[in-house]
Structure 1
Amino acid sequence: MSSILEVSGISVSFDGFRAINNLSFSIGPAELRAIIGPNGAGKSTFMDIVTGKTRPDEGTVTFGERSLNCLRMSEAQIARAGIGRKFQRPTVFEDQTVTENLTLALKASRNPLRVLGWRRKLIDAERIAALAAQVGLADQLARKSGELSHGQKQWLEIGMLLAQEPRVLLVDEPAAGMTLAEREQTTAMLVDMAKTRAVVVVEHDMEFIRRLNCKVTVLHEGSVLAEGSLDHVTMNPAVIDVYLGRG
């Protein structure tokens, strides 16, 4: 299977601490992948590097069929090219409605003149309705985002990322703070999204990961410690020692 995102031999140090150590990672164009590991394993730094927030000391990051060099691109250029990231804490415009949030996120030219003259068309309204339905907010379009539950805000932010039509979606701890029902709906949502794009989920909730039923990459000290099904990696003695514990 060809890769949509290829990270090869990246390393980065902060004040002498090696946060990422010769890390290599790849994901297919329509694949769901979970990343787990103890605190300080390099999970967030990995996502920072892929999205251009942090520059590695060495290694390469390439994206898409044309093997775009992400290390020569700005954060904005990487996002426009098709790599989206959802942080752990949802960041939505709480004084704006769900419709307005999704409208602001729609993929479009950001040229100042285009922005000033922009008017929502029927196709935009249809796209917003489809996005809201995809993330379980079809009946919440008129509500202010600040009135939504924590889980619904998470879904709205995912919807805003989908509005940008990403080909790779990086999702940080989506199950955190959610009710059981919200977590089940989020699981189904992520599985469905991975049918048409690469979805990388960083999560600590092992039951949530089990429901995703996908390949798992375990990071430790900035490197890949193990990779495979959840059952495979959780039986690995090294993973048990550094992450799961023997209790």
Structure 2
Amino acid sequence: MSTLLEVSGVSVTFDGFRAINNLSFQIGNAELRAVIGPNGAGKTTFMDIVTGKTRPDEGRVIWGEKSVSLLRMSEAKIAQAGIGRKFQKPTVFEDQTVQENLLMALKNKRGWLGVLFYRPSADDLDKVADLASEIGLKDELTRKSGELSHGQKQWLEIGMLLAQEPRLLLVDEPAAGMTPQEREHTTDLLVQAAKTRAVVVVEHDMEFVRRLNCKVTVLHEGSVLAEGSLDHVTSNQDVIDVYLGR
């Protein structure tokens, strides 16, 4: 499997604290990966570096078949290159309907004039209907997003990211605050998304990670402590000591 993202030898220090320490990580084109680790392990900083929010002191972050350096690109250019990020708290336009939120997110080439005079085409509406089915909101298209449950808002935000057709999706703690049924649907959604793109899920909930049934990377003090199946990493003595407890 060809590598889509390669992070190698990356370190970053904030006020004398080394948040990321010689971190190396890679993920393939259509791969699902869970990233776990204790608080302060560097999970958020890792995502900040990949999306251009934080610049590392050293190391390389290489993207795509043409091996482009992400470190030379702005946050906006990185997003345009196909890297989408979902933060923990859902950010949707609450006064707009589900359909309007998804339409706004569609990957269409349009300048500011195009945005002002935008009228969705039949093709756009079809795409949005398909996306709504995929995320489990096809019966909610005309509802205002502010009326959705917490879980549904999370799905809508994932749908808005998928509408931009990213090649890599970074998702931060998607299961937090969800009902068991919502979590199950979220698992299915992420597993499905990873069939056609790379998906990295940062999560604390071990049951949720188990259901994802994917390779797991454990971070500790800014570097990779262990990597492999969930059973493999959770039986690693170092992981037990620093993260899982006895």
Category of TM-score, reference length = shorter chain: over 0.9
Partner of residue 165, structure 1: 165
Query: Residues 1-247 of structure 1 correspond to what in structure 2 (within 5 A)?
Result: 1-246=1-246
Structure 1 residues 62 and 95: alpha-carbon distance in aligned structure 2, compared to 1, 3 A threshold:
same
- The TM-score, its normalising length taken from structure 1, stands at 0.98
Moved beyond 6 Å, runs of 4+: none
| Counterpart amino acid of residue 102 in structure 1 | L
SS at match of 1:89: coil
SS at match of 1:59: strand
Instruction: State how far apart, in whole Å, the 2-side matches of 1:217 and 1:32 are.
Output: 11
| Counterpart amino acid of residue 220 in structure 2 | H
Instruction: State how far apart, in whole Å, the 2-side matches of 1:27 and 1:185 are.
Output: 24
| Counterpart amino acid of residue 150 in structure 1 | H
Please, what is the CA RMSD of the aligned residues? 0.7
TM-superposition CA deviations, 1:187-216 (whole Å, max 9, x none): 111111110000000000000000000000
SS at match of 1:139: helix
| Counterpart amino acid of residue 238 in structure 1 | D
TM-superposition CA deviations, 1:152-209 (whole Å, max 9, x none): 0000000000000000000000000000000001111111111000000000000000
1:10/1:23 contact within 8 Å kept: yes
- The TM-score, its normalising length taken from structure 2, stands at 0.99
1:11/1:57 contact within 8 Å kept: yes
Instruction: State how far apart, in whole Å, the 2-side matches of 1:101 and 1:128 are.
Output: 9
| Counterpart amino acid of residue 36 in structure 2 | I
SS at match of 2:61: strand
1:31/1:198 contact within 8 Å kept: yes
Instruction: State how far apart, in whole Å, the 1-side matches of 2:184 and 2:71 are.
Output: 36
| Counterpart amino acid of residue 32 in structure 1 | L
| Counterpart amino acid of residue 74 in structure 1 | S
Instruction: State how far apart, in whole Å, the 1-side matches of 2:61 and 2:94 are.
Output: 34
Percentage of matched positions with identical amino acids: 78
Instruction: State how far apart, in whole Å, the 2-side matches of 1:114 and 1:88 are.
Output: 31
| Counterpart amino acid of residue 41 in structure 1 | A
SS at match of 2:3: coil
Q: CA deviation at 1:2?
A: 1.3
TM-superposition CA deviations, 1:16-68 (whole Å, max 9, x none): 00000000000000000000000000000000000010000011111111112
Q: CA deviation at 1:231?
A: 0.3
| Counterpart amino acid of residue 57 in structure 1 | D
1:109/1:115 contact within 8 Å kept: no
Q: CA deviation at 1:110?
A: 4.0
| Counterpart amino acid of residue 25 in structure 2 | F
Q: CA deviation at 1:109?
A: 2.1
SS at match of 2:140: coil
Q: CA deviation at 1:140?
A: 0.4
